[in-house]
Structure 1
Amino acid sequence: MVAVPENPWFETDDPEDEFGFSAAELAFAAALRERAGSWTVPPAYSWVGRPEDDSSLLAVVGLSDRDNRISLADIGVHLIGSTVRGDRLHNQLHYLPDRPTDLAMEATGSSGELAEAAATWFEAVLLRPVVRHEWEHNGQIYAERYLFADTGHALCQRYNRALAPQGQAESLTASGQVAERGWIHTGGLGRPTRTVNVRGRSTAW
């Protein structure tokens, strides 16, 4: 893997936002861009801006299945004063979760120190291998699950009841493998038909 100069990291989402950035925020964003320029990671969409409530400086990277044009997860950091916190973000509002996930990070320090901590965290996440588990029935894929191959941390999933084996959804629901709105947890499907590498070099999970 080589650095990708044609994929500039952390451009400002709205150039007009920069007029509202403080000197410390501008320094953080500049240092983060500079550090990211040396990364040797798979490409990903990224930007710098503010969340809906303008409460912080926000830097976001979107993980995706580029071949299938599927968004997997947004990871990012919120800079407030001398503290930066990072984690998986809400996919629309980009808020941090109420309960930190196993991806969470937090650091305090100067703008340069915070940018270095954030860049190190982003790079580590971007280097982690992502795979897609596929479950097939009668020659058709009825379920998919994207996850980090090194830990099994799930990113997103899909389940098609119409293509699934008859009675499977009802059985999974009865055993508690169901979320809000009746969405089936693919984690209860057992061994997948196949595992497809999506990002980085995968290891079996």
Structure 2
Amino acid sequence: MTGTTRTGLRARWAAWSAASVVALGVVWLLVGWIVFQHPRTEQPARSDALLVLGPPDRTRMAEALRLMDAGLAPVLVVATPGTGDLGDDPGEAHYTRAEQTCAADPGYEVICFRPDPSTTQGEAVRLRELGEQRGWEHVSVLTYRQHVARSRLLLTRCYAGELDVLAFDYPSVPRGLLREFAYQSGGFVKAWLTPGCDQQLPWRPKSLD
């Protein structure tokens, strides 16, 4: 094989590889647009409780309180995961807002908890516990649009009752749309590697006491 032939083969291989990467990227974007940007959601309906997946930032708490004021459920459950999560305020502002909501007397029961682990899976485990303790048969869940598909997957692994997943939209996606697609894609990979309700990756076990 001559040097010219080898060079031509390398060029064709490089072109084919680049085309394959571009094609895979386009497919990923299309799937992300369907799964993350246009997920299946339910309309608000009377349920036993409304679970607000954390962090309890201003945007999602405003929507949660609007739904509760409309009579969606008799119990509001608010997850307060660790700081540095997605939201419109940094750090302890999430906890301050959650504490204010829990300390108030809005005319319905409010439960605040810190998930363990501080992830959507930890929130799902806590929903299972609360559902079993209180006999909840129908729960509404509130989260932001790009998180709907993954949260539904994790929650239905733990909670056997009827589940309505309600979506809200931030004025602008905090991470940016492409970064959000990448983040949620990584979350799905982790979910597929840990198929049980509370199964954890071996190098990141739960921190239950």
TM-score tier, shorter chain, comes to under 0.3
Higher relative contact order (CA 8 A, sep 6+): 2
TM-score normalised per structure 2? 0.24
The structure richer in strand per residue is 1
The structure richer in helix per residue is 2
TM-score normalised per structure 1? 0.24
Query: Which protein has the larger Cα radius of gyration, Structure 1 or Structure 2?
Result: 2
